[in-house]
């Protein structure tokens, strides 16, 4: 995945919209909203229009733009073919995105489960992580059915469907998990696989693309948000021994087996994300790393 600096196009947008571009850190003051944009529609180079103005030109699939700090408010976004003269005949939208001050968002142009282009606005969890822990968010934006994630043979994430997400806070480390079709336990589509969870960092993993395409366009994209550390009161690394009520995750919820998590090692979560992206995506390994420090556009890519 490619990260695009949006200096020129973003500046034009901000001038037109009467906004101010602020290059602030992830823990910046809460007077503005923060927006990143991921283009996850395969095979389509697009332009992104915000409030009737072209803000991203020739935006390629797999590119991530942002984050951009914007005044809170509602923005009308349309996505057109790259040669469009205006936003009158969009491929996606127009959609109204309402951004609240002090909140981080990622707008994703992607395919729904049936393969139709659509857009989803995700709210990024930027709350502080406990000392020694990292955060993993898995987002399913691929034209593919739901999947389950297994740990110790038991489903710990169930029925993750497009455009859903699961958020997990875990001890920093490395672990193992496998991915299967929703409602099954075998065969494993992927895994078990190991991946690291970084302390104080939110890693967001996207499974995107279309496995039915020839060749398959399923791919994996990742986005990271740093600086989520809380004051350390003790660093817990190594084996994960989470109790079921310890909040395996905002959003984990239904169907999670308590005992399964108690035997998982810390890194397996990230492995889970990678697996989900790959599982839904076949073995597509299109990695997408985004840097939070860049100044990016407010349009959807």
Half-sphere exposure at residue 254, Cβ-oriented, CA atoms within 13 angstroms: 3
Picking from 123-127, 140-144, 194-198, 263-267, which range would have the lowest pLDDT averaged per residue? Answer: 263-267
pLDDT in tens, 177-193: 666 789 999 877 656 76
Q: Measuring CA to CA, which residue among 152, 276, 279 is closest to residue 216? A: 279
- Burial status of residue 116 (CB atoms within 10 A of its CB: 0-12, 13-18, 19 or more): exposed
What was the pLDDT predicted at 89?
94
Q: For residue 16, name the pLDDT band (cuts at 50, 70, 90).
A: very low
Picking from 35-44, 82-91, 208-217, which range would have the lowest pLDDT averaged per residue? Answer: 208-217
Picking from 8-17, 78-87, 228-237, which range would have the lowest pLDDT averaged per residue? Answer: 8-17
Is-contact 189 160, C-beta < 8 A?
Answer: no
Picking from 17-31, 139-153, 162-176, which range would have the lowest pLDDT averaged per residue? Answer: 17-31
- Indicate if the pLDDT at residue 101 is higher than 70: yes
What was the pLDDT predicted at 26?
39
What was the pLDDT predicted at 205?
83
Q: Average pLDDT of 65-73?
A: 92
What was the pLDDT predicted at 88?
94
CA–CA distances in Å: residue 262 to residues 130, 179, 241, 245, 257: 18, 18, 5, 11, 9
Cα separation, 159 vs 146, whole angstroms = 5
Q: Where are the domains of the chain?
A: 2-280
């Amino acid at each position: 995945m490619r990260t695009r600096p949006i200096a020129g196009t973003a500046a034009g947008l901000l001038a037109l919209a009467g906004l101010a571009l602020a290059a602030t850190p992830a823990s910046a003051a809460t007077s503005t909203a923060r927006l990143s944009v991921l283009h996850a529609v395969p095979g389509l180079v697009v332009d992104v229009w915000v409030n009737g103005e072209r803000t991203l030109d020739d935006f390629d699939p797999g590119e991530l733009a942002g984050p951009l700090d914007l005044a809170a408010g509602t923005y009308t976004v349309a996505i057109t073919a790259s040669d469009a003269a205006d936003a009158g005949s969009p491929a996606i939208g127009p959609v109204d995105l309402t951004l609240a001050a002090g909140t981080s968002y990622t707008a994703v142009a992607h395919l729904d489960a049936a393969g139709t282009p659509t857009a989803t606005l995700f709210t990024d969890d930027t709350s502080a992580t406990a000392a020694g822990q990292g955060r993993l968010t898995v987002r399913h934006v691929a034209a593919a059915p739901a999947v389950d994630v297994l740990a110790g043979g038991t489903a710990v994430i169930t029925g993750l469907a497009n455009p859903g997400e699961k958020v997990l806070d875990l001890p920093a480390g490395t672990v193992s998990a496998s991915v299967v079709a929703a409602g099954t336990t075998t065969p494993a589509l992927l895994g078990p696989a190991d991946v690291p969870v970084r302390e104080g960092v939110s890693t967001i993993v996207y499974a995107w693309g279309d496995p039915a395409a020839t060749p398959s366009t399923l791919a994996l994209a990742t986005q990271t948000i740093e600086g989520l550390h809380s004051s350390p009161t003790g660093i817990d690394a190594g084996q994960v021994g989470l109790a079921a009520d310890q909040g395996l995750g905002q959003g984990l919820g239904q169907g999670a087996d308590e005992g399964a998590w108690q035997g998982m090692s810390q890194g397996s979560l990230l492995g889970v994300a990678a697996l989900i992206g790959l599982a839904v995506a076949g073995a597509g390994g299109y990695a997408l790393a985004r840097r939070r420090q860049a100044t990016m556009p407010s349009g959807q890519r």
